Structure 1
């Protein structure tokens, strides 16, 4: 499994968001907005680990309740009540970077062998059921942001334009 995923409509959605960002001529204001968007996505991803479900509200599947064979190298889970909480590395190490040009939310957690195990959990594998914590839906072998996340992003942008810009207009 590679670290890249194929996105369907990402370019169209990205263009729409970038067009709205380009309406903000002040790079400081753009950075405030992209930081807000980055934190929103990061918080939503972290919420998946608390709520134990995907962005559509589907509960994560416990491997024990599937016919997926146990990985013989896997150590016992310490907290049996929560999935993906053995060490907390995947759930607790989300971060983001933002600037006037955009943002990225990331997690660099890797197995002791260097494998980025978040990919396995997000997309599933031979020994691990899919437990999506990213706002993606699969469509014809490719991925797209789900509609709830797109709406959330657009709501954040409109909210920013409605509320935050008025604050800065009054200061200038």
Structure 2
């Protein structure tokens, strides 16, 4: 439609035709308004549904954020525990290293003492050999003396063996 003031309808159009045309145009406009109203209603329903959906998404996001924060705190706590365990393990490894040094030193001391014991045992065996030899010689001497008619006291062998032993030099 034109709003031109010089607009004049054609001469052959009758009033009834114009009224019918206006009714048809109004009908079309009503259909168009109904269509636009249905689109508006659908859009409003969709908008409301979207708002509800967004509210649900926001709640879900909030709960997930809370869960993520809780998980993050748990991971931080676990990381702290791991750090403590790492420090404890490092300390234990240092202790183990020092204990290994102590064990090596103790092993060396034990080997030294075993060597000393072995030498002492050899010395003892030498003294036992000397003792046995001395006892045998004293007994032989006693027999020789008695065979020669010399009276020997009963404790001759034991008194002879009580004398200091000769020193053994190694």
TM (normalized to structure 2)? 0.20
Q: Which has the larger radius of gyration?
A: 2
Q: From the two aligned structures, give the one with the greater strand fraction.
A: 1
